[in-house]
Every structure is written in structure tokens, then in C-alpha cells.
Amino acid sequence: MSKEFLEATKAYVERAAKLLDIPADEVKQLETPRREVRVELNVRMDDGSIGTFIGFRVQHDDARGPFKGGIRYHHHVDAEEVTALASLMTWKTGVAGVPFGGAKGGIAVDASKLSEGEKQRITRRFIDGIHDIIGPSSDIPAPDVNTNGQVMAWIFDQYAKYHGYHPGVVTGKPVSLGGSEGREQATGRGAVFATEEILAHHGDALAGKRVSIQGFGNVGTWAAHDYVAKGAKVTAISDVSGGYVNDDGIDVAAAIAHVKQHRSLAGFGGAEAVAGDAVLVHDCDILVPAALSGVLTKDNAKDVRAKYIIEGANGPTDPEADAIFDQRGIEVVPDIYANCGGVTVSYFEWSQNMQHYYWSEEQVNEALQRVMKRSFASLADARKKHGCNLRMAAFVVGIGRVNDATRLRGL
Ligand code: NAD
């Protein structure tokens, strides 16, 4: 699965490079990660045994600025998955126009089985292993699947033990530790701004639209919150425990409160329980995959009933499904644009840290919306110019910017 994800990412890069007439040697340079690190993490588990885990950090490209990308804790994490995700980060920061490169990290571990103490010890050992290659002007991690503000706080603290006080070494920190207002909400919020852009492009609007969301963590919950706040109706949600459907509209605040209390949607009474995958093909206007990669495939793409797919997750659509959506006229708003709100507000957080001057949530949200509008306009222009779909347009924009910077810097 990870191998296919990496191959698909490379294939998109090569197709976009062809549209941009980038020669093969430069494409190879763009594709190849600058550094791939693998570290062994030994920690004492709560039961007294030694737990041995593998952590990865892949620094893909820094032509436009310091490496930037989240850290994921999941049992599927491997070198290929982290490399594909690091590459996507490079094109995403290019699309958003923020002065960063791309990186990704991960630890292969079933996070659902870890206590908070175990999670903290694993995080600190990981930073022991990579503190020399991260830093506020070299590589800046952030949250991803199964990591959050608390994990970022431990990263900040462990890094400080080696290098002193540098809040800009990591983003997605709690506000009380130098985090930014609006960062926690930013990826989901950005996805909703992206939805408004694509709807406006087609002369349409959010009010009354039915939304299905796969994944009810950071991205899924904040997207759900904002969709409802803007007059849409969330009719299907899912998480690792299964799917939950209510065509009259799910009480999103109640679902979020349930997850806060029980750690998952299991037992949520406000909707009919269905199979998790059923949410992807439930009748709706807008489908938001906001969990893992490779969930939309040739097997279910023909059954998707949404008119718009907003990729909150990274890599949720495989290339065969992408082609089916193109044939069926379903607009896929691609990950490297749709979820770039997270890295955009990470940039705002980092720049606040560097200046020790903090913004209001209103300022953050306004600046985020400006970036989402500006980036969508670039995608729409590229689609028109190259006659391609929005995903290819996003790759063209991101790769074009990274390649310009790479050429200017020279060898
Ligand atoms: P999270 O850990 O907060 O939430 C993940 C959610 O997915 C959880 O609700 C989990 O139960 C659910 N899930 C896991 N397996 C599932 C399955 N098989 N079916 C349905 N649901 C399942 O993670 P997150 O930060 O919300 O990240 C979600 C996606 O968004 C990832 O692809 C991530 O790379 C991407 N993303 C996150 C950010 C960010 O700022 N956090 C930014 C950009 C992209």
C-alpha cells in the first residue's frame, strides 16, 4: 500500500513536470529526498517490558525554505509512506506559497494501545534521535495522525534540553506554549474555505449542502464544525470505530463532545451506526476523506455519490479512482491544496514565534482565507492553461515554484 502511494506520488510529479517541460535530470533532482533518517526507539513500557519502535524523518526538499511536515504515530508507518507524505509536503508548501520545503516523520506504533506516559517517552526518545537535524531554521515538525498539541509540547521541551528555548522548532503547540490561535482548527477550516472556493467557481454555495466526513479527529471535527457554522448539514461521519449516518443532520457538537469523553465515536447515539466504509458512498453533495491514504479506489469510486471530494487527508484517492472521478465529472479538490490550511497557519505560528509577537484568531483566520483564495486562483489558472484536472493543476503550481527556486539556487 505504501509502495503504491509512493509510486502514485512520483507519477503525478512526472506528469506535472512534463506539462512544465522540466527536463528528466531536474525531475530526478526534484523527486529525490535530501535526507532519510531511521532511528531505533527503546522505551520502558508501563508493564515493565522494553518496547522497541522505529521512527522515520524524511527531509524531502528545502529549496524554498526550512523542511516542514507533520509527525504521525500509526502502525502503517514505513519508509515509503513517510517519503510519499514528505514529497506531498514539498508541493503543498509550494501551492500555499509559504516559505517552507517539505518533510514528514512517523513512528510505526499502534497509538491506540499506548498510555499517555508511553506516548510521552516514545516522543522524547524520537527527539533524542533527530534533534540534530531539526530546528527553527532547518526542519520544523507539526501534528499529524495520532499526534496533537500535547505531543508537540513534549517535542518542544525535549529539543530545549539540547538547544535551549526555541518555540519555532515545532508548530501546532498549545497556545499557552507559544502556539497560534486558530492552528488547531486550521486544516479543517482551510478545507471548508477550499470547499467555498470550488463551489463559488461553479456559481454555487455551501448553504444546505449535505456533507459526509471520513475521519473524526483534528481535521474531520473542525471541518464538520465549520461546515455546520456555514449552513451545510453533516449527514455522515466515521472514525476507526465505524460509520454514523443521520440524513436529518448530525448534531456535530454532540458528536465532538462524545469523542472527547470516549476517545472515539463508538456508542454515539445521535445517528444510525453503519460500516465505516459506507460513509464514503453515502448519498451526499460533498465528501471529505479526512483519515488515511488510499481509501478511494477503483472498487468504490464508481459508487461515490458526491459531486465534490475535498481531500482533507493526504493521498486518500488512488490514481485509478482519480481517473474514474474525472470520467464521472466529480470535482476532486486535491490534498496539496485542500488541506494546506494546516501548514499555512503553521507558517503563521512559526513567524509569530520568530518575532515573539502574537496575532488574534481573527487575524489568523483572515490571513488563512486570503491564502486559500489566492492558491485556488493559481490552481484555476493552471487548469485552464494546461487543460488538466485540479490535482494536476496543483502539482503544476507547486512543482513550478519549487523548480524555479531550485534552478535559481544552482548546484
Ligand atoms: P487524527 O489522528 O486527529 O484523526 C484521525 C481520524 O481518522 C480519527 O478519527 C481516526 O479514528 C480516524 N480513522 C483512522 N482510521 C480510520 C478508518 N479506517 N476509517 C475511518 N476513520 C479512521 O488525525 P488528523 O490530524 O485529523 O489527520 C487526518 C488526515 O489529515 C491525515 O491524512 C493527515 O495526514 C491529514 N492532515 C492533517 C493535518 C493536521 O494539521 N493535523 C494537516 C494536513 C493534513
Q: How many C-beta atoms lie closer than 10 Å to residue 10's C-beta?
A: 15
Task: Note the pLDDT of residue 25.
Answer: 97
Q: Specify the residue with its C-alpha closest to ligand 1, atom 35.
A: 313
Residues 119-140: what's their mean pLDDT?
98
* Main-chain phi, psi angles of 37, to 5 degrees: -115, 140
Closest CA to 81 of 288, 293, 241, 303: 293
Check residue 401 and give its pLDDT.
98
Over 90: is that where the pLDDT of 34 sits? yes
Q: How confident is the model at residue 368 (pLDDT cuts 50, 70, 90)?
A: very high
Respond yes or no: is residue 209 known to be catalytic.
no
Mutation probe of ligand 1 site: the residue of 71, 119, 239, 287 with most atoms within 8 A of C-beta: 239
Ligand 1, atom 4: nearest CA belongs to which residue? 217
Share of the chain above pLDDT 90, in %: 100
Summarize pLDDT for 175-223 with one digit per residue, the tens.
999 999 999 999 999 999 999 999 999 999 999 999 999 999 999 999 9
Dist. CA 374–CA 283, nearest whole Å: 31
**Pairwise CA distance, residues 227 & 190, whole Å:** 11
Ligand 1 centre distance from Cα of residue 377 (Å) = 27
Of 74, 106, 56, 77, nearest in space to 1 by CA: 77
Query: By alpha-carbon position, which residue is closest to atom 28 of ligand 1?
Result: 291
Q: Evaluate if residue 230 carries a pLDDT over 80.
A: yes
pLDDT at 349: 98
Q: Pick the catalytic residue: 10, 18, 68, 104?
A: 104
pLDDT band at 317; cut points 50, 70, 90: very high
Reported confidence tier of residue 383, pLDDT bands at 50, 70, 90: very high
State the average pLDDT for the chain. 97
pLDDT-derived band at 308 (thresholds 50, 70, 90) equals very high
C-alpha grid cell, residue 275: 460500516
Count of CB atoms situated within 10 Å of the CB of 45: 15
- pLDDT reported for residue 261: 97
The DSSP H or E segment spanning 281 is none
Which domains are delineated in the chain? 33-167 (3.40.50.10860), 186-338 (3.40.50.720)
Give me the helix-helix angle, 79-96 and 390-409, nearest 10°. 90
* Neighbouring C-beta atoms of residue 1, cutoff 10 Å: 13
CA 290 to chain centre: 8
pLDDT-derived band at 1 (thresholds 50, 70, 90) equals confident
Instruction: State pLDDT tens for residues 249-293.
Output: 999 999 999 999 999 999 999 999 999 999 999 999 999 999 999
Residues framing ligand 1 (Cβ under 6 A): 143-146, 187, 214-220, 238-240, 264, 276, 290-292, 312-314, 339, 342
CA of 185 to the centre of ligand 1 (A): 13
Which residue in 172, 49, 57 sits closest to 108, CA to CA? Answer: 57
Neighbours of 73 (CB within 10 A): 25
Where does 247-315 show beta strands of DSSP type E?
272-274, 286-289, 308-310
Nearest atom of ligand 1 to the alpha carbon of 259: 9
Buried b (16+ CB within 10 A) or exposed e, 319-355: bebbebbbeeebbbbbbbbbbbbbbbbbbbbbebbee
Sheet with 50-61, edge to edge strand ranges: 35-44, 50-61, 102-108, 67-74, 139-143
Average pLDDT over residues 321-345: 98
Per-residue pLDDT of 40-86, as tens digits, reads 999 999 999 999 999 999 999 999 999 999 999 999 999 999 999 99
The span from the CA of 125 to the CA of 302, in Å, is 45
Name which residue sits closest to atom 31 of ligand 1, judged by CA.
313
C-alpha triplet 187, 190, 196: angle, nearest 5°? 150
pLDDT at 369: 98
Which grid cell sits at 190?
482551510
Give the pLDDT of residue 118: 98
